Amino acid sequence: MTTLSIDAHVRLDTHPSHRSAVVATVAGTARHIAHAHLSVRGFERVDEHTLVMARIDREEPYWAERAAQALIAEGISTEITSGLREAIDEEWTWADYPMPWCTRQEIREVSDEAQKIYDDIRHGRLVIHAHAHDGWTMVAAGSYRDGSSVALHGENHLRTITESFDSPAEALTAFERLYGGTKRPGPAPMTDVERQTAEARHTLHSPGPLEPEPAVQRTEMVPAYAADPADHDAALDEFVAEHDDWEKWRTWSDGTTHLIHESQTLRAELVHETDPRETAWTFAAYETPVSDRMWHLTLTGSTPAPVLKTLLSRLAEGDAWETAIGSPTTEKTVTEATRPLTDAGWKHTIEGQWIRWETTPGDAGIQFDAFAAQNLSTLPTWTLWAGPSIDCPTWALHASPYTPAPLLASLAEDLAHGTGTKLAVPHRPAQLKTTPPGLPQAINPHAANRSL
């Protein structure tokens, strides 16, 4: 049987700015037919020639190949670029997948069901009434437009339907019984993965700015805490190149690079493409390779380059963390960690359980939480920050109890006396450019007025 040829050509390629998304470019007089086939296979229309597939499970290359096979079977000429072919053929596994007994295909089936739930929420077919955190992950209760109600467990590619109900009232009653103390109305805030997936679609929808005359840029010297954010990928590559006692590997499934010292007692991970105000780096130290974590600290994506450089340099030297593992926080260690701030004349205040050191303008500071230090709570003992306020920082570093005082002192020294560079762009008249529409605050159209 000969397949009827259709005057349509589809070119499948990787997304220009999203590492796993796939873009379909359609040409030909019968491109509407190709559009229809692509739409039922997970692609979303951008314009009459372009569609994009952006999934929460990062499996776009796999599903794009399946779509290509279906298009070819329908007589539609289909091309897969070399870049996308490389992504299709790439072998990878999920790090710490909670169902290790699943085969690769079974994992895809689980995540595809999660994708369907995500799409139903995003397109308004599934309305979320309430959400909560059960101590491990997000849970929620919602109702489909067709009348059925469900309980949901998990986030992103691990979200599943755990129970069905006959009515929204029944679902909410069960949810209230289990999570009444932590329940919040409406859907949960977008996860980082959902935000990146939305951005992959948005960047192709948004018109580019008009081309203005090139702006004259200049670099100025500023305090280290006010410097431009670090290029985290470049800093990681430079660190590994200079220190062969560290080993790295990357898990493409969640976009994370892991670093382990040869002693296996100091570890770090970098989450790539994170939001500037979300955690990008996590460092952790262990007394032995198999012991519990002794201390850890985190950095947000907008952390200045000098601060990250200081931290990596001190960790590489070893003496900043090896000698202090297991040491409790005392008045002596607090004094040692903050001496550079005292010497620099930073404002020192005590308010309840918090001891703070801040610059005179109040645009940077360090906070010590005495309650968290003594009770080993989940709250950070140390917070280093810069920006409008500690409650709304431009960047922040959080450190747990037992974080070595020498390491903190090095960071405090950098904040008090270090310098960095900041790119200054002269003000440009508003009429010389247009501003693309902003990224929506929520994927679910019913979540605009949600309360957290």
**Residue 149: which of 124, 130, 126 has the closest Cα?**
126
pLDDT(221) > 90: no
Is 48 within the bounds of a domain?
yes
205/440 Cα distance (integer angstroms): 12
Residue 190 has, within 13 A of its CA and on its CB side, a CA count of 22
Q: Return the top range by mean pLDDT from 14-18, 104-108, 206-210, 407-411.
A: 407-411
C-alpha 317/C-alpha 183 separation (Å) is 46
| Structure confidence by residue, pLDDT tens digits, 389-413 | 888 899 999 999 888 888 999 999 9
- Judgement on whether residues 66 and 185 belong to the same structural domain of the protein: no
Q: Is residue 231 part of a domain?
A: yes
Neighbour-count burial for 312-333, b at 16+ CB within 10 Å, e otherwise:
bebbeeeebbeebbebebeeeb
The average pLDDT across 308-330 equals: 72
- pLDDT of amino acid 226: 92
**Mean pLDDT for the chain?**
83
Residue 63's contacts (CB-CB under 8 Å, 6 or more residues apart) are: 41, 42, 53, 55
Reported as a pLDDT band with limits 50, 70 and 90, residue 329 is confident
**pLDDT band with cut points at 50, 70 and 90 for residue 147:** confident
Query: Is the same domain home to 129 and 251?
Result: no
pLDDT tens for 163-216 read: 999 988 899 999 989 998 888 888 888 888 888 888 887 766 544 443 444 555
340 token code pair: 């550079």
Angle at 46 between CA 84 and CA 4, to 5 degrees: 70
What per-residue confidence (pLDDT) applies to 328?
Answer: 67
pLDDT band at 441 (very low <50, low <70, confident <90, very high): very low
Are 115 and 56 within 8 A, CB to CB? Answer: yes
The stretch 135-158 carries a mean pLDDT of 90
Residue 439 lies in a domain: no
As a whole number, mean pLDDT of residues 40-68 equals 91
Question: pLDDT band for position 143 (50/70/90)?
Answer: very high
Is 278 strand, coil or helix? coil
| Residue 210 is assigned to a structural domain of this protein | no
What pLDDT does residue 90 have? Answer: 83
CB atoms within 10 A of CB 87: 22
Asked whether residue 438 carries a pLDDT value surpassing 80, the answer given is no
Kindly state whether residue 436 falls inside one of the protein's structural domains. Answer: no
Mean pLDDT, residues 6-12: 90
- The verdict on 297 and 405 lying in the same domain is yes
- pLDDT-derived band at 386 (thresholds 50, 70, 90) equals very high
Residues 38 and 26 sit within 8 Å (Cβ to Cβ): yes
Residues in contact with 81: Cβ distance below 8 Å, sequence separation at least 6, in sequence order: 11, 12, 13, 14
| Residue 261 lies inside a defined structural domain of this protein | yes
Highest-pLDDT range among 188-192, 338-342, 424-428 = 338-342
pLDDT at position 396 is 94
How confident is the model over 209-224, as a mean pLDDT? Answer: 64
User: Does 46 score more than 70 pLDDT?
Assistant: yes
Burial class (CB in 10 A: 0-12, 13-18, 19+), 302: buried
> Do 285 and 376 lie in a common domain?
yes
175 and 225 in a common domain:
no
Q: Which residues contact 211 (CB under 8 A, 6 or more apart)?
A: none
Residue, of 211 and 364, whose pLDDT is higher: 364
Ranges 69-73, 119-123, 214-218: which has the least confidence: 214-218
Residues 390 and 274 in one domain: yes
Q: 202, 228, 247: which is the final residue of a domain? A: 202
Range of the domain at 404: 220-424
Asked if residue 431 belongs to a domain, the reply is: no
What is this structure's pTM? 0.50
Q: Output the pLDDT for position 444.
A: 34
Domain C-terminal end among 169, 202, 235: 202
Phi and psi of 51, rounded to 5°? -135, 160
393/316 same-domain check: yes
Model pLDDT, residue 443: 29
Taking CA atoms, 333 is separated from 135, 400, 409, 415, in Å, by 32, 14, 9, 18
**DSSP letters along 388-446, please?**
SBTTB-SEEEEE-TT--HHHHHHHHHHHHH-EEEEEE-----GGG---PPPPPS-SSTT
| pLDDT bracket for residue 297 (50, 70, 90) | very high
> By three-state DSSP, how is residue 275 classified?
coil
Percent of the chain with pLDDT over 90: 39
Nearest-angstrom CA–CA distance, 161 and 139: 10
User: Per-residue pLDDT averaged across 10-16, rounded?
Assistant: 92
Residue among 40, 12, 11, 15 nearest 28 (CA): 11
Number of structural domains in the chain? 3
**Quick one: 132 and 238 in the same domain?**
no
User: Domain end: 42, 62, 89, which one?
Assistant: 89
- What is the arithmetic mean of pLDDT over 272-286? 87
Q: State the Cα–Cα distance between residues 23 and 16, nearest whole angstrom.
A: 9
Residue of 431 and 24 predicted with greater confidence: 24
pLDDT band at residue 327 using 50, 70 and 90 as cut-offs: low
- Per-residue pLDDT, 431: 36
CB environment 20-57: b (16+ within 10 A), e (fewer): bbbbbebebeebebbbebbeebbbbebeeebbbbbbbb
Higher-confidence residue of 297 and 318: namely 297
* One domain for residues 248 and 371: yes
Q: Looking at the structure, do residues 34 and 177 belong to the same domain, yes or no? A: no
80 belongs to a structural domain: yes
Task: Report how far Cα 188 is from the mean position of its chain's Cα atoms.
Answer: 16
- Residues 281, 324: one domain? yes
Same domain assignment for residues 325 and 415 = yes
